[in-house]
Amino acid sequence: MKGVVLHGGFGTRLRPLTHTGPKQLIRVAGKPVSQWVLEDLRDSGVKEIAIILGTLSPLRVVDYYGGGEWLGLELTYIYQGYPYGLAHAVYLVKDYVGNEPFIVYLGDNILAGGIKDYVKMFLESDSDAFILLAEVENPQRFGVAKFDEKGRLIGLVEKPREPPSSFALVGVYMFRPPHIFHAIEGLRPSWRGELEITDAIQRLIDWGLKVDYAVVRGWWKDTGTPTDILEANRLLLDDRVHETLVTGKIEKGAVVEGRVVIEEGAIVEKGAVVRGPAYIGRNSIVARGTYVGPYTSLGWNVVLREVEIENSVVMDGARLERAGRIVDSLVGADASISTSRGLPKGYRFVIGEKALIQLQS
């Protein structure tokens, strides 16, 4: 079985963070979102994976993952360019997958329990397609399933104004060629100007082919907004960080409490306090007079100095110095927030890469 990870799109709901890089490379709980996806596929037995690249800094994706050997994977890159829709992206892998069954996984989705059990269900079935569903409070944001009175799947609707159910399509789809490619060939763009994967799967249903589904257990996050990123970070820290793990350095006189990961090269200096669950990325510095509160993740090469931060994600290379109290925030890569002296106020930010904010007292 082969895998396909969709790594394109414009990430409009995450701007300004995505003006300069793919949303799937935002690091939560120590790893880019798409790395959680790739590792989930690997742990499900899928080792050959095509990554579909978009127009937004595709070389960053290639530079980060390379050939995938360091993850135990064999990666191939396919350039989609402009995002003409999920179905268009899927059609691009027709030659790559050949006659093998394959799984499509959106690169900005995270599932708590992973997909291993569902992959097994699909491979042991005679289904032409297999989709995952999750019950949600706001189905208007997603593709939504429609059932008959016996609970059989009879239709899919993309972002409906009046949802036929509360069960949304999770960004994981499994197919057996060639039917899905035949279905895509006959599609026309939707009102959004895209070739919708929901329309392609609907054609399979209309043709009488076997389309099965499962409802996922545990949480599922589509990390499409700042709020989603912060929630995914909280969920992953709770789900994956079970104990304190230190390969960096904790100076004498520093306080580290709870479940905290401190990566290689990172330093928590004397007079700093870190309360978990939290993640301190590689070569980051938590300096004297700094407080890192629960549900905070720092990327690589971050510097925090005389700042209080809680329930936030700080991306690679950012610097926060004498910036008061920061909560519920996303700070972009290489961004800088500083002031001449510490402030007693609380701040909430979503700032993009290389932004510079100087606070005035």
DSSP-derived letter for residue 69 is G
Helices (H), ranges, 52-211:
58-65, 86-91, 94-97, 116-123, 179-185, 197-206
Poorest-confidence range of 14-18, 142-146, 223-227? Answer: 14-18
Mean pLDDT of 137-151: 86
**Domain 2-225 -> CATH class:** alpha beta
Q: What is the mean pLDDT of the chain?
A: 87
pLDDT tens-digit map of 241-281: 888 899 999 999 999 999 999 999 999 999 999 999 999 99
Phi, psi torsion values for 8, nearest 5 degrees: -105, -150
Q: How many C-beta atoms lie closer than 10 Å to residue 190's C-beta? A: 15
What is the topology classification, in CATH, of domain 241-359? Answer: UDP N-Acetylglucosamine Acyltransferase; domain 1 (2.160.10)
pLDDT in tens, 286-341: 999 999 999 999 999 999 999 999 999 998 899 999 888 999 988 888 888 887 55
d(CA 324, CA 344): 6
- pLDDT at position 127 is 95
pTM of the model: 0.86
Every domain range in the chain assigned CATH 3.90.550.10: 2-225
